[in-house]
């Protein structure tokens, strides 16, 4: 391993540091009773704040211009009719009313949720299984880690092309392989019922990044616990279920949340494979929410309506992540809670 510090290691170092002492004396919480500052100290403190602000200024400007203002303006736009050419006209909640009755919104939202519900459990389960396997690889682990991560380097647009090629109903590699076992594979790329499973399957190819995260977590599971369980006669699967899983439930849960947020915003692979860049619809089964939003905003220039769509997406992401956080309180085990 290189000198790459894990977040835990870096955090530990941070907490050891004495707060707010010395030349840079700042407003640390660990300070003793309030003593009036000498003028030179006050000057120092002001200088610290100014220096810090200088270093932070790129982010502060970026936050104001590219996050805070867009959030506010997007909210405003969602209450207007705006086609870029003419000035926005205020229409109140009209966009939201339209959105509630738009069959394409229901379609796209349904597609996206179904895709995410299929993808996330499979993705996380597969990551965990592969990480467990990799954990047992011994000295050849380095080679396999590298091999597993390689697909993550493929540009998503090329993954979209691969979807069309490998999952092709007639002569695609997948169905050819299924044919060896006497299975007549479905038309993954054209049959509406199979398009989403096909995209999920293809997404599993890029599971390597999550495997590496879980592998790092597995190395942190105390061996004494596993050995004790073994002494008590627990087999591999019971040890995994009762010891390893709870010990890595934090990272597992983290992957569930991150993948859910990503899944709800799926765009490139599905867009590449199923939609022409010159407008028009591809297959309805691949119309994901981010694609519909993109079309409304940048192909039809319904900026107001698209902003309302963006806020609905935000609410959906927030609601689902919130539910997951609530559930995690019961399921996830944190070392610090002991």
Partner 1 sequence: MAGAAGAAGAAGAGAGPGAAAAAPGLAKPPRRDRRARTLVARVLVLGALGLVTLLFVYPFVWLVSASFKPRGDVFDNRLIPATATLQNYVTVWQEAPVALWLLNTVIVTVLSAGTVTLSSALVAWGFSYFQFRGRGLLFGLVLATMMLPGAVTMIPTYLIWDSLGLVNTQVPLWAGGLFGSAFYVFLLRQFFLGMPREIFEAARVDGAGNWSIFWRMALPLCKPAVVLTLLFEVQAAWTNLMGPLIYLRDEELFTIPLGLKILLDRFVGSGNFQWEVVVTASVITTLPMVLLFFLGQRYFVDGVAASPGGGK
Tell me which residues in 144-163 interact with partner 1 (CB under 8 A). 144-158, 160-162
Query: For residues 226 and 243, is the Cβ–Cβ distance under 8 A?
Result: yes
Q: Does 192 bind partner 1 (CB under 8 A)?
A: no
CB of 137 to partner 1, least distance (A): 6
Number of residues binding to partner 1, judged by CB under 8 A: 126
Say how many CA atoms lie within 13 Å of 244 toward its Cβ.
22
User: In the set 116, 266, 272, 328, which binds partner 1 (CB under 8 A)?
Assistant: 272
Taking CB under 8 A as the binding criterion, the range among 100-108, 182-190, 305-313, 329-337 that sits at the site for partner 1 is: 305-313
Q: Does 63 bind partner 1 (CB under 8 A)?
A: yes
* Close Cβ partners of 19 (under 8 Å, ≥ 6 residues apart): 28, 29, 30, 31
Which of 217, 184, 185 is closest to 201 using CA atoms?
Answer: 185
Site string for partner 1, 24-43 (x = CB under 8 A): xxxxx---------------
CB of 56 to partner 1, least distance (A): 4
SS3 content of the chain, % helix, strand, coil (to 5): 70, 0, 25
Quote the CA–CA distance of 112 and 117 in Å, as a whole number.
Answer: 9
CB of 330 to partner 1, least distance (A): 22
Q: Does 254 bind partner 1 (CB under 8 A)?
A: yes
Residues 41-60 close enough to bind partner 1 by CB under 8 A: 45, 48-49, 51-56, 58-59
Quote the CA–CA distance of 308 and 172 in Å, as a whole number.
Answer: 40
User: In the set 317, 320, 324, 333, which binds partner 1 (CB under 8 A)?
Assistant: 317
User: In the set 185, 197, 198, 208, which binds partner 1 (CB under 8 A)?
Assistant: 208
CB of 193 to partner 1, least distance (A): 22
Site string for partner 1, 75-104 (x = CB under 8 A): --x------x--------------------
β-bridge partners, 253: none
Alpha carbon distances (Å) from 246 to 207, 210, 215, 334: 21, 17, 15, 9
Q: Does 295 bind partner 1 (CB under 8 A)?
A: no
Quote the CA–CA distance of 141 and 131 in Å, as a whole number.
Answer: 10
The residue (of 73 and 334) whose beta carbon lies closer to partner 1 is 73
Q: For residue 81, what is the enclosing H or E element?
A: strand 80-81
Quote the CA–CA distance of 9 and 252 in Å, as a whole number.
Answer: 19
User: In the set 231, 233, 237, 338, which binds partner 1 (CB under 8 A)?
Assistant: 231
Q: Does 73 bind partner 1 (CB under 8 A)?
A: yes
Quote the CA–CA distance of 310 and 317 in Å, as a whole number.
Answer: 11
CB of 38 to partner 1, least distance (A): 18
Q: Does 306 bind partner 1 (CB under 8 A)?
A: yes
Taking CB under 8 A as the binding criterion, the range among 14-22, 92-100, 193-201, 328-336 that sits at the site for partner 1 is: 14-22
In b/e form, how buried is each residue of 198-207, taking b as 16+ CB within 10 angstroms? bbbbbbeebb
């Amino acid at each position: 391993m290189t000198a790459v510090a894990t977040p835990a290691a870096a955090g530990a170092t941070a907490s050891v540091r004495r707060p707010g002492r010395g030349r840079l004396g700042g407003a640390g919480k660990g300070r003793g009773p309030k003593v009036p500052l000498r003028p030179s100290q006050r000057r120092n403190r002001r200088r610290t704040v100014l220096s810090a602000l200088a270093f932070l200024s790129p982010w502060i400007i970026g936050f104001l211009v590219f996050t805070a203002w867009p959030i506010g303006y997007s909210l405003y736009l969602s209450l207007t009719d705006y086609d870029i050419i003419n000035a926005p006209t205020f229409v109140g909640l009209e966009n939201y009313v339209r959105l509630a009755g738009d069959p394409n919104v229901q379609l796209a939202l349904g597609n996206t949720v179904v895709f995410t519900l299929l993808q996330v459990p499979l993705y996380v389960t597969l990551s965990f299984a592969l990480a467990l396997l990799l954990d047992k690889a011994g000295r050849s682990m380095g080679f396999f880690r590298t091999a597993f991560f390689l697909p993550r380097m493929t540009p998503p647009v090329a993954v979209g092309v691969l979807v069309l090629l490998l999952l092709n109903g007639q002569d695609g590699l997948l169905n050819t392989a299924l044919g060896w076992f006497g299975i007549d594979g479905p038309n993954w790329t054209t049959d509406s019922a199979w398009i989403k499973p096909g995209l999920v399957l293809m997404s599993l190819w890029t599971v390597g990044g999550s495997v590496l995260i879980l592998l790092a977590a597995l190395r942190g599971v105390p061996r004494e616990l596993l050995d004790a369980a073994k002494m008590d006669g627990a087999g591999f699967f019971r040890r995994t279920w009762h010891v390893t899983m709870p010990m890595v439930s934090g990272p597992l849960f983290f992957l569930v949340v991150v993948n859910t947020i990503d899944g709800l915003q799926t765009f490139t692979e599905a867009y590449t494979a199923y939609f022409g860049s010159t407008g028009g619809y591809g297959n309805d089964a691949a119309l994901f929410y981010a694609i519909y939003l993109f079309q409304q905003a940048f192909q039809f220039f319904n900026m107001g309506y698209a902003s309302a769509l963006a806020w609905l997406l935000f609410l959906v992401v927030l609601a689902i992540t919130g539910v997951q956080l609530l559930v995690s309180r019961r399921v996830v085990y944190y070392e610090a809670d002991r």
